[in-house]
Amino acid sequence: MALETNSYFNPRGGEVKVSHKHSSQIYCQSSAFNPGISLAGSQDIAFPGDYQHVEARSKVVPHVHHASDFKKNDKDSFHGSASCNSSQSRVSCLVEIPLTTVSESRLKEKKSCLKGKGKYDKNFKIHCDRDNDHHFRIPTNGAHRAQHKACTIHQLRDGRRLHSATNISGSMSVKKEIVERVCDILAKREWGQETVQALSDLDLNLSPFQINEVLKQQKDTERALSFFNWAKDQRGYKHDAHTYTTMLGILGRARNFEALDCLFNEMLREGCKPSIVTYNRLIHSYGRANYLEASRNIFNHMHTVGCKPDRVTYGTLIDLHTKAGCHDTAVGFYDMMQQAGYCPDTFTYSLMIHCFGKAGKLTAAYRLFCEMVDQGYPPSLVTYNTMIDHFAKAGKFDMAMKLYNDMKEAGYRPDQVTYSIMMEVLGHSGHVEEAELVLFEMEQAGWTADAPIYGLMVDLWGKSGNAEKAVEWFNKMIHSGVKANVPACNSLLSAYLRLNSYNAAREVLQSMSKWGLDPSLQTYTLLLSCCKGTEQQQQIDLMLSLKGRIEHPAHTFLCSFLTSEPSDTRSLIRHFFDCMQFEEQETKRGFADSLIDFLHDSGLKSAAGHVWDIVVEKSLYPRAVTDKTPHHWSVNLHVMSIGTALVALLRTLVLFKERMVTSGVAPERVYIITGWGRRSRVAGASLVKHAVESLLNSLGSPFHIDGANLGCFVSKGKPLFQWLTEPQVEQVLVF
C-alpha cells in the first residue's frame, strides 16, 4: 500500500511526513527542527477494521506526539488525528481514510483518498510537495484482504504450514512473523542440510524485501552469505539492489574483500544496477579497512557510471579521511560537496567540526559551529560533544563550559560521551577526584558506567601515578558485574609499568589470559614504550613472555626483531604492517612511535630508520611532511616521541636534499615544527623541541627560532642545502 505523496513541513530543513506506510498503518513522522530535542518515540493505537493501528512517530519530538483513536464515521471512512509538538512548534494532521471495498480494476480508475491537513504555528510554514491543498492520495483496495490476513496469522501462530507469501503480501505483521520464523531457523543451527530442509519445509516464496529483512538481522557473515546464496537458487527468485547492497555491507563489515569484490561483480553481471547506497556502502567498507585509495576510486567510478554522489557519499569520505588524519583531503571533499550543489546539514557540519578539531584548527572548527547556527541548523548532541571535546582538549575550559551550558539550555541532557569528555579533561588536568564526582553525577542522571567508563577511571588514576586507586576502580568494575575488557586491562597494566611494578604487571597479563582476553596492539605498545633504562632486559622479557590464545602478529614480529638480527629487516617490517591493515591508524601510529623510539634508544638506528620509511610508505604520518606552498616545506614532529622525532627529522632532511638535487631548486623556507611536544610537562618546555635543538646545534645547522613561534625552527633553502652536503652532516644522515 503506497502513499503517493507526502505533506512536508519544513521550517529549517526539518520535515513532517504523513504517509500511509501500509494498509494497516498510518505513519506520521517529523524530523529535526528543534535544537533541544533529539529522541524518537512512537505510539501505536488501536484501530478498528482492516487498519490495525496508526502510528505517530517522531525522530525529534520525544513526548508529545499523539495519535487519536480513529473512529468510523457515517461516510464509511475512518477519521482521526496525529500530531507532533515541540516547545517551538506544533504540527498536527487530520487524516481521513475511506474504507470502501472496491475491485482491483476499479481501483486503477478511481483511487481512494486520504486527506491530510496541516496546522502549524505562525513561525513556521508548511509547504507541500505536489499541491497546495495538502492533499495526498493513496491507492487502497480496502478490507477485502482482512479475512485472508486473519487466516494466515492464525495459521502462523498455530505452527501449521504457511501460505505462500505471495498470497499474504498484504499484512505487515504477517511479513514480520515470516521473517522471524526464517531468522529462528537460521539462528538454531550452523548452516547445513538441516537448515535448507527447514527452510524448504516452510514452503514460502520469499520476496527480496523479506530476504533483505532476514539478512539485516544476521550477525554471522558466513551464515548470511549461505542464506543469500540459498535465496538465489530459489525458483523464480532474483536478488535486487537492496539485498545485494545489504550483503555487500555485511561482507564489508567482516572485511572479506575477496567475497565482496566477487559479489559486486556478480551484481553487475546479473544486470542489477548498483544504487547510490550500494556505492556509499562500498566506500565506507573499504575506507574503514584503511583502503582509502579504493574508496576514492569507487567515488571516481561513480562519476563514470553516471551515479551522482550525494551528501552521504561526501560525508562518508570526509569522515574516513578525517579518521586517517588526511584532514586536507577531507576539506577537499567538503568543498567538492558544496560545488556539487549540496549545502552542509547538521550531520555534515558535525563531521567538519570534528575534522578541523582533529587537525588542531580550533578556530576554524568553532567558526563552522557558529556558521551552522547562523544558517539555521541546530547543533545536535554529537555536535555539542565534539565541540566541547575540542575546546577542553585545547585547554579552553571556559569555552567548553559555556557550550556545555548552552547544550543544556538547548534541552539536551548530557550523555555518556559528554560525561566521558568531562571526566577525561578533568583527569588529564590533574583533577582525578573531580572526574570521579562526574562519574557519580552521571550515575545519578540515570546512566550506568560501562567497561570503557570504568576503564577511563583506571586509566586516569594510573596516569596520575596512583596504581592503588587504579586497581580499586578496576575491582569496582568487576564487582559491579561489568566484564573487564582489554583496554581496561591495558590501563591497569600501564599503571603498574609506570611504577616499574613488574610482578603486578605480570599478574594483570595472567588475569587477561585467564579471562580469555587476548593482548591487543596497544598492549604491545605499552610494553614496548616501557622498555627503557637500566631494567630494559627485564621489560623485554616480560613483553616476550606475553602470549594470547592466538599469537598476536606483534609478538612474532617483536620476537624475531629482538632475539636475533633479522636477515631482511625491511620486508619483515613491511609484512608486519601489512598484517595490521585493519587496525586503526591511530593505534598503528602509537605502536610505530613506541617501536622507533625504542629502537633509537637501544642504538638500533638503522632499524629505526627502516621502520620510519615503511610507516611513511603506509601513510601513517600523512601530516608529518607537507608543503605549505611549493616554496615552503615543512616537517611536523609535533606529536612524536623523542626518538621518532629525531629519526623522522633526519630522514626528512635526506628527502629534502634529494628533492633539491632532483629539481635543482631550493625552497624559500623550510620549517621544523616541534610544538610543545607530547612528552612535555610544562608549557613551552617541550622535550622534543630540546632534543631537536641540540641535534641541530651539534651539527651547526642554519635552523633557528624565528618570530613568536617558539616551537618552530626555520631555515632558508640555499644555506640548508649547503649544510646538508657538508661531510659531517652527510655522515649523520646515512643510517
Q: Tell me: does residue 416 bind DNA (CB under 7 A).
A: yes
Q: Which residues of 645-670 are buried (b: 16+ CB within 10 A; e: fewer)?
A: bbbbbbbbbbebbeebeeeeebbebb
**Which of 183, 202, 276, 732 is the binder for DNA (CB under 7 A)?**
276
DSSP collapsed to 3 states, 204-222: CCCCHHHHHHHHHCCCCHH
Cβ nearer to DNA, comparing 62 with 452:
452
Nearer to DNA, 89 or 418 (CB): 418
Tell me the HSE value of 647 on the side-chain side, using a 13 A CA sphere. Answer: 30
- The length of the chain is 735
Q: Does 389 bind DNA (CB under 7 A)?
A: yes
Residue 279 beta carbon to DNA: minimum distance, rounded to whole angstroms: 7
List 275, 375, 475, 501, residue binding DNA (CB under 7 A)? 275
- Using CB under 7 A, pick the residue from 81, 83, 246, 494 that binds DNA: 246
Q: Is 525 in the site for DNA (CB under 7 A)?
A: no
Residue 217 and residue 227 in contact, taking contact as beta carbons nearer than 8 Å: no
Packing angle between helix 536-545 and helix 553-563, nearest 10 degrees?
140
Judged by CB, which is closer to DNA: 316, or 715?
316
Sign of the Cα torsion 266, 271, 276, 277 reads negative
CB 665 within 8 A of CB 688: no
Residue pair 390/357 in contact by the 8 Å Cβ criterion:
yes
Stretch of 124-132, 183-191, 446-454, 606-614 contacting DNA, by CB under 7 A: 446-454
CB of 346 to DNA, least distance (A): 7
Q: What angle do CA 173, 178, 183 make, to 5 degrees?
A: 125
By CB under 7 A, residue 40 contacts DNA: no
Among 8, 10, 13, 21, binds DNA (CB under 7 A): 21
At 350, list the grid cell: 558535525
Tell me the C-alpha distance between 479 and 355, whole Å. 39
Size of the site for DNA (CB under 7 A): 60
The residue (of 310 and 434) whose beta carbon lies closer to DNA is 310
Judged by CB, which is closer to DNA: 245, or 652?
245
Nearest to 92 by CA among 62, 67, 70: 67
Q: Tell me if 381 contacts DNA by CB under 7 A.
A: yes
Q: Which is nearer to DNA, 494 or 636 (CB)?
A: 494
Residue 277 makes contact with DNA by CB under 7 A:
yes
Count each helix (H run) and each strand (E run) in the chain, helices first. Answer: 32, 17
Candidates 99-107, 306-314, 328-336, 688-696; binding stretch for DNA (CB under 7 A)? 306-314
CA distance 735 to 731: 8
Q: What's the CA gap between 204 and 332, in Å, rounded?
A: 50
Pick the closest to residue 110 from 73, 138, 131, 145 (CA basis): 138
Minimum Å gap between C-beta 138 and DNA is: 11
Nearer to DNA, 81 or 491 (CB): 491
383 touches DNA by CB under 7 A? yes
Contact range with DNA by CB under 7 A, out of 40-48, 291-299, 419-427, 638-646: 419-427
- Regarding 379 and contact with DNA (CB under 7 A), the answer is no
Phi–psi pair at 145, nearest 5 degrees? -85, -15
Residue 334 or 496: the one with the smaller Cβ distance to DNA is: 334
Alpha carbon distance 731, 723 (integer Å): 12
The piece of 240-248, 436-444, 650-658, 681-689 that touches DNA (CB under 7 A) is: 240-248
Per rule CB under 7 A, is residue 56 in the interface with DNA?
no
Residues 147/179, Cβ–Cβ less than 8 Å: no
CB under 7 A: which stretch of 118-126, 254-262, 280-288, 473-481 binds DNA? Answer: 280-288
- Residue 451-470 contact track with DNA, rule CB under 7 A, x = bound: xxx-xx--x-----------
Cβ nearer to DNA, comparing 73 with 405: 405
- Smallest gap from residue 726 Cβ to DNA (A): 44
Give the chain's end-to-end CA distance (angstroms, integer). Answer: 73
| Interface segment toward DNA; rule CB under 7 A; list 103-111, 114-122, 192-200, 239-247 | 239-247
By rule CB under 7 A, what string of x and - marks binding of each residue 340-369 to DNA? -----x-xx-xx--x---------------
Smallest distance, DNA to C-beta of residue 552, A: 20
386 sits near DNA (criterion: CB under 7 A): yes
**Cα 192 to Cα 184: distance, rounded to the nearest angstrom:** 14
Asked if residues 138 and 4 have their Cβ atoms less than 8 Å apart, the reply is: yes
Q: Which of residues 164-223 bind DNA (CB under 7 A)?
A: 169, 175, 207-209, 212, 216
DSSP 3-state helix, strand, coil percentages of the chain (rounded to 5)? Answer: 55, 10, 35
CA–CA dist 561, 712 (Å, integer): 35
243 lies in the site for DNA, by CB under 7 A: yes
Element (H, E) at 223: helix 221-232
Q: What is the DSSP letter of 119?
A: E
Residues that bind DNA (CB under 7 A): 1-2, 21, 169, 175, 207-209, 212, 216, 240-243, 245-246, 249, 275-278, 280-281, 284, 310-316, 319, 323, 345, 347-348, 350-351, 354, 380-383, 385-386, 389, 415-417, 420-421, 424, 450-453, 455-456, 459, 487
